[in-house]
Amino acid sequence: MDELSLYVLDITMNSVRAGATEISIELTEEGEWLYFTVRDNGCGMTEEQLKKLENPFFTTRKTRKVGLGIPFLKMLAEMTGGNVKINSVHESVSADHGTVTMAKFGKNHIDFIPLGDMVETVKTLIQGSPEIDFTYRHKTEQGEVMLSCAEIREVLGEVPLNEPEILTWIGENLREQYEEL
Amino acid sequence: MKSLEELKAIKAKMQDKVALRTSSGETRIVVGMATCGIAAGARPVLNAFVEGVAEAGLGENVMVTQTGCIGICQYEPVVEVYTKDAEKVTYVKMTPERAKEVLEKHIKGGKVITEYTIGALKK
Protein backbone atom coordinates (compact mmCIF):
# COMPACT_ATOMS: atom_id res chain seq x y z
CA MET A 1 0.00 0.00 0.00
CA ASP A 2 1.51 3.28 -1.07
CA GLU A 3 -0.68 5.77 0.81
CA LEU A 4 -1.17 6.06 4.56
CA SER A 5 -4.86 6.74 3.91
CA LEU A 6 -5.19 3.14 2.66
CA TYR A 7 -3.79 1.85 5.96
CA VAL A 8 -6.35 3.98 7.78
CA LEU A 9 -9.08 2.48 5.58
CA ASP A 10 -7.82 -1.04 6.23
CA ILE A 11 -7.56 -0.60 10.01
CA THR A 12 -10.98 1.04 10.22
CA MET A 13 -12.48 -1.92 8.35
CA ASN A 14 -11.53 -4.00 11.41
CA SER A 15 -13.83 -1.78 13.49
CA VAL A 16 -16.60 -2.16 10.93
CA ARG A 17 -16.28 -5.94 11.05
CA ALA A 18 -16.27 -5.83 14.86
CA GLY A 19 -19.85 -4.62 14.66
CA ALA A 20 -19.15 -1.08 15.85
CA THR A 21 -21.90 1.53 15.68
CA GLU A 22 -19.58 4.43 16.46
CA ILE A 23 -16.09 4.82 15.04
CA SER A 24 -13.84 7.81 15.37
CA ILE A 25 -10.80 8.42 13.20
CA GLU A 26 -8.41 11.05 14.38
CA LEU A 27 -5.25 12.23 12.65
CA THR A 28 -2.92 14.61 14.44
CA GLU A 29 0.14 16.24 12.93
CA GLU A 30 2.55 17.59 15.48
CA GLY A 31 6.04 18.66 14.52
CA GLU A 32 7.75 15.73 12.87
CA TRP A 33 5.10 13.22 13.94
CA LEU A 34 1.83 12.06 12.50
CA TYR A 35 -0.47 10.14 14.83
CA PHE A 36 -3.64 8.33 13.92
CA THR A 37 -6.13 6.82 16.30
CA VAL A 38 -9.11 4.66 15.39
CA ARG A 39 -11.54 4.15 18.24
CA ASP A 40 -14.63 1.93 18.09
CA ASN A 41 -17.37 0.45 20.26
CA GLY A 42 -17.25 -2.93 18.50
CA CYS A 43 -17.03 -6.38 20.10
CA GLY A 44 -13.39 -5.93 21.13
CA MET A 45 -10.78 -8.65 21.46
CA THR A 46 -9.99 -11.14 24.17
CA GLU A 47 -6.55 -11.07 25.78
CA GLU A 48 -5.64 -14.16 23.86
CA GLN A 49 -6.60 -12.57 20.54
CA LEU A 50 -4.68 -9.42 21.42
CA LYS A 51 -1.53 -11.42 22.10
CA LYS A 52 -1.72 -13.09 18.70
CA LEU A 53 -2.55 -9.91 16.84
CA GLU A 54 0.90 -9.14 15.51
CA ASN A 55 1.32 -12.62 14.18
CA PRO A 56 0.49 -12.62 10.46
CA PHE A 57 -0.59 -16.24 10.75
CA PHE A 58 -3.42 -15.30 13.08
CA THR A 59 -6.78 -14.16 11.76
CA THR A 60 -10.40 -14.71 12.73
CA ARG A 61 -11.53 -14.78 9.13
CA LYS A 62 -12.48 -18.01 7.47
CA THR A 63 -11.58 -17.30 3.85
CA ARG A 64 -7.80 -17.25 4.24
CA LYS A 65 -5.25 -18.16 6.86
CA VAL A 66 -3.25 -14.97 7.15
CA GLY A 67 -4.05 -11.55 8.56
CA LEU A 68 -1.77 -8.78 7.38
CA GLY A 69 -3.54 -5.57 8.37
CA ILE A 70 -1.91 -5.00 11.76
CA PRO A 71 1.49 -6.46 10.79
CA PHE A 72 1.62 -4.12 7.75
CA LEU A 73 0.74 -1.11 9.88
CA LYS A 74 3.26 -2.02 12.56
CA MET A 75 6.02 -2.52 10.02
CA LEU A 76 5.41 0.86 8.38
CA ALA A 77 5.15 2.72 11.70
CA GLU A 78 8.34 1.16 13.06
CA MET A 79 10.23 1.76 9.83
CA THR A 80 9.64 5.50 10.32
CA GLY A 81 10.66 5.46 14.00
CA GLY A 82 7.09 5.26 15.30
CA ASN A 83 4.98 2.51 16.79
CA VAL A 84 1.52 0.95 17.08
CA LYS A 85 -0.42 0.49 20.31
CA ILE A 86 -3.69 -1.38 20.61
CA ASN A 87 -6.04 -1.45 23.56
CA SER A 88 -9.15 -3.57 23.51
CA VAL A 89 -11.94 -4.61 25.86
CA HIS A 90 -13.91 -7.68 24.81
CA GLU A 91 -17.67 -7.63 25.10
CA SER A 92 -17.55 -10.54 27.54
CA VAL A 93 -15.57 -8.38 29.97
CA SER A 94 -17.45 -5.11 30.08
CA ALA A 95 -20.45 -3.31 28.61
CA ASP A 96 -17.99 -0.55 27.75
CA HIS A 97 -16.23 -2.63 25.08
CA GLY A 98 -14.34 -1.70 21.96
CA THR A 99 -10.90 -1.25 20.46
CA VAL A 100 -8.49 1.65 20.18
CA THR A 101 -5.66 1.48 17.64
CA MET A 102 -3.01 4.16 17.86
CA ALA A 103 -0.19 4.52 15.33
CA LYS A 104 2.68 6.97 15.28
CA PHE A 105 4.79 7.80 12.22
CA GLY A 106 7.89 9.91 11.66
CA LYS A 107 6.85 12.27 8.87
CA ASN A 108 10.38 13.23 7.91
CA HIS A 109 11.71 9.70 7.80
CA ILE A 110 12.76 8.48 4.37
CA ASP A 111 10.48 5.44 4.71
CA PHE A 112 7.38 7.55 5.42
CA ILE A 113 4.77 7.33 2.68
CA PRO A 114 2.43 10.18 1.72
CA LEU A 115 -0.82 10.49 3.61
CA GLY A 116 -2.70 10.35 0.32
CA ASP A 117 -6.40 10.91 -0.15
CA MET A 118 -8.11 10.79 3.24
CA VAL A 119 -11.30 12.17 1.70
CA GLU A 120 -11.61 9.05 -0.46
CA THR A 121 -10.99 6.85 2.58
CA VAL A 122 -13.76 8.56 4.56
CA LYS A 123 -16.17 8.40 1.59
CA THR A 124 -15.38 4.71 1.04
CA LEU A 125 -16.13 3.91 4.69
CA ILE A 126 -19.45 5.77 4.67
CA GLN A 127 -20.40 4.20 1.32
CA GLY A 128 -19.90 0.73 2.76
CA SER A 129 -21.48 1.35 6.18
CA PRO A 130 -23.94 4.26 6.01
CA GLU A 131 -25.52 3.22 9.31
CA ILE A 132 -22.32 3.69 11.35
CA ASP A 133 -21.64 7.01 13.06
CA PHE A 134 -18.16 7.86 11.84
CA THR A 135 -16.41 10.89 13.24
CA TYR A 136 -13.41 12.14 11.31
CA ARG A 137 -10.98 14.71 12.63
CA HIS A 138 -7.65 15.77 11.16
CA LYS A 139 -5.67 18.23 13.25
CA THR A 140 -2.75 20.03 11.66
CA GLU A 141 -0.72 22.99 12.79
CA GLN A 142 -2.73 25.16 10.36
CA GLY A 143 -6.13 24.11 11.67
CA GLU A 144 -8.62 21.28 11.76
CA VAL A 145 -10.84 19.30 9.39
CA MET A 146 -13.91 17.67 10.94
CA LEU A 147 -16.86 15.55 9.83
CA SER A 148 -19.55 13.95 11.95
CA CYS A 149 -21.95 11.42 10.47
CA ALA A 150 -24.28 11.82 13.46
CA GLU A 151 -24.61 15.51 12.64
CA ILE A 152 -25.30 14.78 8.97
CA ARG A 153 -27.82 12.09 9.93
CA GLU A 154 -29.73 14.61 12.05
CA VAL A 155 -30.28 16.69 8.93
CA LEU A 156 -30.99 13.75 6.63
CA GLY A 157 -33.45 11.79 8.73
CA GLU A 158 -34.21 8.60 6.80
CA VAL A 159 -32.17 9.39 3.71
CA PRO A 160 -29.17 7.02 3.82
CA LEU A 161 -25.71 8.56 3.94
CA ASN A 162 -24.50 6.52 0.99
CA GLU A 163 -26.83 8.07 -1.55
CA PRO A 164 -24.52 9.32 -4.34
CA GLU A 165 -25.64 12.95 -3.90
CA ILE A 166 -24.87 12.78 -0.17
CA LEU A 167 -21.47 11.14 -0.71
CA THR A 168 -20.63 13.88 -3.20
CA TRP A 169 -21.63 16.53 -0.66
CA ILE A 170 -19.49 14.83 2.00
CA GLY A 171 -16.49 14.71 -0.34
CA GLU A 172 -16.85 18.35 -1.38
CA ASN A 173 -17.38 19.47 2.20
CA LEU A 174 -14.15 17.77 3.30
CA ARG A 175 -12.15 19.03 0.31
CA GLU A 176 -13.30 22.59 0.98
CA GLN A 177 -12.24 22.27 4.60
CA TYR A 178 -8.81 21.04 3.47
CA GLU A 179 -8.46 23.92 1.02
CA GLU A 180 -9.15 26.40 3.80
CA LEU A 181 -6.30 25.08 5.95
CA MET B 1 -18.89 26.30 1.67
CA LYS B 2 -20.82 23.04 1.53
CA SER B 3 -23.12 23.92 4.40
CA LEU B 4 -25.69 21.90 6.30
CA GLU B 5 -28.28 24.21 4.70
CA GLU B 6 -27.26 22.88 1.33
CA LEU B 7 -27.54 19.36 2.70
CA LYS B 8 -31.13 20.09 3.73
CA ALA B 9 -31.90 21.17 0.19
CA ILE B 10 -30.42 17.93 -1.19
CA LYS B 11 -32.48 15.95 1.30
CA ALA B 12 -35.71 17.68 0.28
CA LYS B 13 -35.02 16.83 -3.35
CA MET B 14 -34.23 13.21 -2.59
CA GLN B 15 -36.82 12.11 -0.12
CA ASP B 16 -39.45 10.98 -2.64
CA LYS B 17 -36.86 9.24 -4.73
CA VAL B 18 -35.48 7.27 -1.79
CA ALA B 19 -38.94 6.22 -0.65
CA LEU B 20 -39.56 4.68 -4.07
CA ARG B 21 -36.35 2.77 -3.97
CA THR B 22 -37.28 -0.01 -1.57
CA SER B 23 -37.35 -2.46 -4.47
CA SER B 24 -33.83 -1.54 -5.55
CA GLY B 25 -30.92 -3.90 -5.86
CA GLU B 26 -31.97 -5.96 -8.82
CA THR B 27 -28.33 -5.82 -9.77
CA ARG B 28 -25.62 -5.92 -7.13
CA ILE B 29 -22.00 -4.98 -7.70
CA VAL B 30 -19.86 -6.22 -4.81
CA VAL B 31 -16.29 -5.01 -4.36
CA GLY B 32 -13.84 -6.86 -2.07
CA MET B 33 -12.48 -4.38 0.46
CA ALA B 34 -10.30 -6.44 2.80
CA THR B 35 -6.55 -5.82 3.20
CA CYS B 36 -5.86 -7.81 0.04
CA GLY B 37 -8.35 -5.80 -2.00
CA ILE B 38 -7.30 -2.43 -0.62
CA ALA B 39 -3.60 -3.17 -1.20
CA ALA B 40 -4.32 -4.17 -4.80
CA GLY B 41 -6.25 -0.98 -5.58
CA ALA B 42 -9.89 -1.68 -4.70
CA ARG B 43 -10.64 1.83 -3.39
CA PRO B 44 -10.49 3.58 -6.80
CA VAL B 45 -12.35 0.64 -8.37
CA LEU B 46 -15.20 0.98 -5.87
CA ASN B 47 -15.21 4.71 -6.43
CA ALA B 48 -15.43 4.26 -10.21
CA PHE B 49 -18.50 2.04 -9.78
CA VAL B 50 -20.18 4.41 -7.30
CA GLU B 51 -19.57 7.43 -9.52
CA GLY B 52 -20.41 5.59 -12.73
CA VAL B 53 -23.74 4.31 -11.39
CA ALA B 54 -24.66 7.82 -10.22
CA GLU B 55 -23.62 9.45 -13.49
CA ALA B 56 -25.56 6.96 -15.59
CA GLY B 57 -28.62 7.34 -13.36
CA LEU B 58 -28.65 3.61 -12.64
CA GLY B 59 -29.14 4.04 -8.90
CA GLU B 60 -32.67 2.72 -8.86
CA ASN B 61 -31.75 -0.77 -10.04
CA VAL B 62 -28.07 -1.11 -9.27
CA MET B 63 -26.55 -1.33 -5.83
CA VAL B 64 -22.83 -1.03 -5.16
CA THR B 65 -21.73 -2.74 -1.95
CA GLN B 66 -18.54 -3.84 -0.21
CA THR B 67 -17.46 -7.16 1.19
CA GLY B 68 -14.45 -8.63 2.96
CA CYS B 69 -11.96 -11.15 1.63
CA ILE B 70 -13.49 -13.87 -0.50
CA GLY B 71 -10.34 -15.98 -0.54
CA ILE B 72 -8.81 -15.30 -3.95
CA CYS B 73 -6.42 -12.56 -2.85
CA GLN B 74 -4.04 -13.09 -5.76
CA TYR B 75 -6.75 -11.92 -8.17
CA GLU B 76 -7.71 -8.72 -6.33
CA PRO B 77 -9.26 -6.27 -6.89
CA VAL B 78 -12.18 -8.69 -7.24
CA VAL B 79 -15.67 -7.57 -8.19
CA GLU B 80 -18.74 -9.79 -8.18
CA VAL B 81 -21.82 -8.92 -10.21
CA TYR B 82 -25.17 -10.42 -9.24
CA THR B 83 -28.02 -9.92 -11.66
CA LYS B 84 -31.57 -11.10 -11.26
CA ASP B 85 -31.71 -14.04 -13.61
CA ALA B 86 -28.12 -14.84 -14.48
CA GLU B 87 -25.35 -16.61 -12.61
CA LYS B 88 -22.90 -14.56 -10.53
CA VAL B 89 -20.02 -13.13 -12.56
CA THR B 90 -16.61 -12.71 -10.89
CA TYR B 91 -14.32 -10.09 -12.40
CA VAL B 92 -10.67 -10.15 -11.37
CA LYS B 93 -7.69 -7.76 -11.41
CA MET B 94 -10.02 -4.84 -11.84
CA THR B 95 -9.05 -1.23 -12.51
CA PRO B 96 -11.17 1.96 -12.58
CA GLU B 97 -11.04 1.82 -16.40
CA ARG B 98 -12.30 -1.77 -16.44
CA ALA B 99 -15.01 -0.77 -13.98
CA LYS B 100 -16.33 1.85 -16.41
CA GLU B 101 -16.25 -0.77 -19.15
CA VAL B 102 -18.15 -3.31 -17.03
CA LEU B 103 -20.80 -0.68 -16.27
CA GLU B 104 -21.18 0.16 -19.93
CA LYS B 105 -21.12 -3.32 -21.48
CA HIS B 106 -22.37 -5.63 -18.72
CA ILE B 107 -24.62 -3.59 -16.44
CA LYS B 108 -26.15 -1.41 -19.13
CA GLY B 109 -25.64 -3.66 -22.17
CA GLY B 110 -26.21 -7.04 -20.54
CA LYS B 111 -23.07 -8.54 -22.04
CA VAL B 112 -20.48 -10.13 -19.73
CA ILE B 113 -16.88 -9.13 -20.52
CA THR B 114 -15.51 -12.64 -20.48
CA GLU B 115 -11.85 -11.69 -20.75
CA TYR B 116 -11.94 -9.95 -17.35
CA THR B 117 -13.61 -12.83 -15.54
CA ILE B 118 -11.90 -15.38 -13.33
CA GLY B 119 -12.69 -18.11 -15.85
CA ALA B 120 -10.57 -16.40 -18.51
CA LEU B 121 -7.61 -16.14 -16.13
CA LYS B 122 -7.46 -19.78 -15.21
CA LYS B 123 -7.36 -21.03 -18.77
Whether residue A96 lies within 8 A of chain B, CB to CB, comes out as no
CATH of residue B95: 3.40.30.10
- pLDDT one-digit tens code per residue, A23-39: 999 999 999 999 999 99
Q: Is the ipTM of this complex over 0.90?
A: no
Q: Is the omega angle on the peptide bond into residue B96 within 30 degrees of 0, that is, cis?
A: no
Lowest mean pLDDT among A44-48, A59-63, A123-127, B59-63: A59-63
Q: Distance between CA atoms of B64 and B50, rounded to whole angstroms? A: 6
- Specify the 3-state DSSP secondary structure of A115: coil
Partner B contacted by A179 (CB < 8 A): no
The pTM assigned to this predicted structure is: 0.92
Q: How many CB pairs under 8 A join A and B?
A: 94
- Whether residue B16 lies inside any domain: the answer is no
Domain count for chain B, please give it: 1
Look up residue B12 and give its amino acid. A
Q: Does residue B92 form part of some domain?
A: yes
Query: Could you tell me if residue B6 is inside a domain?
Result: no
Is B33 in CB contact (< 8 Å) with chain A?
yes
The region, left, alpha or beta by phi > 0 then psi within -120 to 50, assigned to residue B85 is alpha
Helical axes A118-128 vs A164-180, angle rounded to 10°: 150
Sorted by where each begins, the domain ranges of chain A are 4-116+133-148
Domain range holding B115? 22-122
Q: Which residues contact A109 (CB under 8 A, 6 or more apart)?
A: A79, A80, A81
- By the 10 Å C-beta count (0-12 exposed, 13-18 middle, 19+ buried), A156 is classed as buried
Torsion of CA A86, B37, A5, B47, to 10 degrees: -140
Architecture of A4-116+133-148 per CATH?
A: 2-Layer Sandwich (3.30)
pLDDT one-digit tens code per residue, A88-137: 999 999 999 999 999 999 999 999 999 999 999 999 999 999 999 999 99
Decide if A113 contacts A82 (C-beta within 8 A): no
The angle, 0 to 180 degrees and rounded to 10, between the axes of the packed helices A4-17 and A69-79 is 140
Note whether A155 contacts B8, CB cutoff 8 Å. Answer: yes
Query: A119: part of which helix (H) or strand (E)?
Result: helix A118-128
Q: Are strands A133-140 and A22-30 parallel, antiparallel or unpaired?
A: parallel
Report the chain A residue with the minimal C-alpha distance to residue B12: A156
Which of A165, A121, A122 shows the shortest CA–CA distance to B53? A165
